Structure 1
Amino acid sequence: MHQETLRIPAFTAYEEKGTLVWYGEIKQTGPLVFALEGKSSDLFIEKVPATGIREVGFEGFTKTVRCFVGGQGTISVTPGYWRFALKAPGKAEALLLSGPASKDAHFNLKERKNAASVHLSYALEKTTRAEWFYNEITVRTTPLYSYYMACGFARGYFGIQVNSPTERRIIFSIWDSGNEGVDRSKVADEDQVKLLAKGEGVVASGFGNEGTGGHSHLVYPWKQDTTYKFLVHAEPVHVGNGQQTIYSGYFWFPEKRTWGLIARFRAPKDGNYLSGLYSFNENFGGDNGQLLRLAEFGPSWIRTSEDKWQELAAASFSCDATGRAKDRLDFAAGVAKSGRWYLSNGGFVKNGIAYKDPLPPRKQHGKPPETLPA
């Protein structure tokens, strides 16, 4: 039976320290025939560790690497993710795979190389009037271009970001009204979010290109494996002839042992409490979408307008279009050893969870905050 050749274009590969690298999932055991389209070069082939890829040039590869001079040959493979590294980037136009083990092999063939964004969607009755949303997050890996978002809701989001090798941020943003996706200058003034207050050192501005709205961030040296606390407050208000909502984002500064305001915005055409609650991992730059992003979330609580705390004890999994279209399948979610829910994306690690699947119950729930901001 003739087996078609799978062509993986060079534009789908990552550049890692002068090396062009393709990653893909092999689903069969047996011989895999490979070749390079274009100028030949040496090809290094190795299996991705089950723990995933946490840094470029992962040294675990050097123990299992096989080098094929001229970039063509046959290798015996087993199911899992594999790495194909070309030592002369830009000289080959594509990686070609055939043979019995190429059957059903999965590679991302799109130019977008970001890991799929992944979310926890918290279950909440539509009639619940959530005035406060409290969540904790512990980040386990910190590659560049990572945004770990603790408190997401229908009108905005609040979390921490890795922006450069030396800069990390706390980010709190609220969307404008209307449907403008790119240019905030096109949004009428009555549809724009208004900044009411911001904390010391906080930078506030508008944003676009992902919808438009009010943005705030604080440069802050948050650390991997340290748990951080986030709190959002919603206050519906009547302004003029319309309903609006004042949204405030607070961060617990562990070194000060106090809540600090990041920013307070007034959102037009609203008048609602918090709804559509969620958390996520996002890889907002595609240069290193092969790296693992892993974070743990919770305990997660709301406090209603009747001053009653309620734990968010159920959640479901979701992902962006890259995951839903099955361009990338390397994502996972579940209960971590800590008893909290975790999300991971990238790194070529997966556990079979699918879009809209419910998460298993958390084993350890914790408590809501003992004090709220004044």
Structure 2
Amino acid sequence: MKLTLAIAVSLLATSVHGVADHLWYRYSLPNITDWYNEIKVHPDMEPTSTYFMSNGFGNGYFGIQPNAPNKTVLFSIWDADDGTKVTNQYCGPKSICSTFGGEGTGLHVNYNFNWTAGVTYAGLIKTKSVVPGYTDFSGYFMHENKEWYHMATYRRKQPTPWLTGLYSFVENPSSVTINITRRTNFGNQWVRNATGHSEELTVAGLDHTSPLVASDRYGAGVDKTSFYLFINGPSNDIPKNTTLVRQATHQEPDWSMQGKTGGKTTKKSTKKTGHKTTKKSKKTTIKKSSKAGHESHRKSTIRSSHHSKVVKKSHKKHEEPAQHHSDKHHPGKHPQKKHEKPAKHH
């Protein structure tokens, strides 16, 4: 009896999982140092065990999670490929900064904030070379009242500060409640480079983890000036490798973060804007993880081309090669270079 039960539990663990889908943004601007994205989670579509990731890039990501007992904002940076550890340069007064481990290591920060579904928030990643051969990554979160919070700044061994491979995703890391739809909108995406030129990102390709099973549900679409993604729930939407085009807002964010966003109307996506210089903060002690939470970190080196079906005609833009984060619950998944196990919070 015990043996039969053990076999049944084992089969269930390998067959029940949740799919994750991604938007890979296309752009032509080189040497990107600033990456802005807005996020609005749909009401009643934010069960626990969901990661709504808005600002993804080659060496880290940023997003929000409906964890229990605290909803949280998350920002993570992976250690360098040669094993050099990321170091903490600043940890905000309301932030919990700690290391993470698993199939990859690095530093992350949790900001326990009771965000509300149906409300638009924003994430901003800024990079800067301060020490030769290293890059500082700063994560900022914009509240409903347009006030910004500097969550943390992490220093990674990286010779150039350019942000590449920009993407967003929705994921069910613990593969539970797969009958409940998880859905969010991502909108008004903008990037800026080292010379102060900016570009609005209006084109993205849809992709998802693989292999899929019959119970997997995923999809994406366009709501005027924003993209939406969903996973789980009753039905699929559109197929993998589809190109989506949203309407442009021409509302460039206030890169200086002076308490507002979308205050600048631009006709061209190469308008120069000014940088704000922030004061250097004292280093803070990194805390080690101690309390379990529902969180999943993904990074891999799997690359695939987006020869996508075009939904709307658009200008040709460069799309970074996809770097998929395969769900660890998927049997026969592609090999990953790095993967962070569910995090432990303070």
Q: Classify the TM-score, shorter chain.
A: 0.5 to 0.7
What's 1:202 paired with? 95
- Are the equivalent residues in 2 in contact too, given 1:116–1:328 (CA < 8 A)? no
Aligned counterparts of 2:14 and 2:210: Cα–Cα separation in 1: 14
Aligned counterparts of 1:322 and 1:293: Cα–Cα separation in 2: 20
Q: Percent identity?
A: 30
- Are the equivalent residues in 1 in contact too, given 2:21–2:207 (CA < 8 A)? yes
1:176 is the counterpart of 2:79: yes
Letter in 2 for 1:341: F
What is the CA-CA distance between 1:348 and the residue it aligns to? 2.7
Q: Give the aligned length.
A: 250
TM-score with structure 1 length normalisation? 0.62
What is the CA-CA distance between 1:113 and the residue it aligns to? 2.5
1:347 counterpart (219, 225, 233):
233
TM-score with structure 2 length normalisation? 0.67
1:163 counterpart (67, 77, 93):
67
What is the CA-CA distance between 1:254 and the residue it aligns to? 2.7
Q: CA deviation digits over 1:178-216, x for unaligned, max 9?
A: 37xxxxxxx5xxx11111002121000111125211110
Aligned counterparts of 1:111 and 1:290: Cα–Cα separation in 2: 18
**Counterpart of 2:80 in 1: which secondary structure?**
coil
What's 1:311 paired with? 200
Aligned counterparts of 1:207 and 1:366: Cα–Cα separation in 2: 38
Which segments of 5 or more consecutive residues in structure 1 lack a partner in the other structure? 1-37, 39-89, 95-107, 180-186
**Counterpart of 2:138 in 1: which secondary structure?**
strand
1:148 counterpart (49, 52, 77):
52
What is the CA-CA distance between 1:368 and the residue it aligns to? 1.9
**Counterpart of 2:251 in 1: which secondary structure?**
coil
**Correspondence list, 1:1-374, <5 A:** 111-125=14-28, 128-140=30-42, 141-164=45-68, 166-178=69-81, 187=83, 191-239=84-132, 243-255=133-145, 257-323=146-212, 326=213, 328-336=215-223, 338-354=224-240, 356-359=241-244, 361-373=245-257, 374=276
Aligned counterparts of 1:263 and 1:310: Cα–Cα separation in 2: 25
User: Larger radius of gyration, structure 1 or 2?
Assistant: 1
What is the CA-CA distance between 1:328 and the residue it aligns to? 4.8
What is the CA-CA distance between 1:331 and the residue it aligns to? 0.5
Aligned counterparts of 1:229 and 1:270: Cα–Cα separation in 2: 28
Q: CA deviation digits over 1:195-238, x for unaligned, max 9?
A: 10021210001111252111101100000000001111011344
Q: 1:275 to 1:211 in 2, by over 3 A?
A: same
What is the CA-CA distance between 1:112 and the residue it aligns to? 4.5
Which segments of 5 or more consecutive residues in structure 2 lack a partner in the other structure? 258-275, 277-346
What is the CA-CA distance between 1:351 and the residue it aligns to? 1.5
Aligned counterparts of 2:175 and 2:216: Cα–Cα separation in 1: 16
* Structure showing the higher strand proportion among its residues: 1
Aligned counterparts of 1:328 and 1:229: Cα–Cα separation in 2: 32
Aligned counterparts of 1:195 and 1:112: Cα–Cα separation in 2: 39
Aligned counterparts of 2:15 and 2:127: Cα–Cα separation in 1: 36
**Counterpart of 1:287 in 2: which secondary structure?**
coil
- Are the equivalent residues in 1 in contact too, given 2:187–2:225 (CA < 8 A)? no
Higher relative contact order (CA 8 A, sep 6+): 2
Letter in 2 for 1:244: Y
Letter in 2 for 1:358: T
- Are the equivalent residues in 1 in contact too, given 2:37–2:55 (CA < 8 A)? yes
CA RMSD of aligned residues (A): 2.4
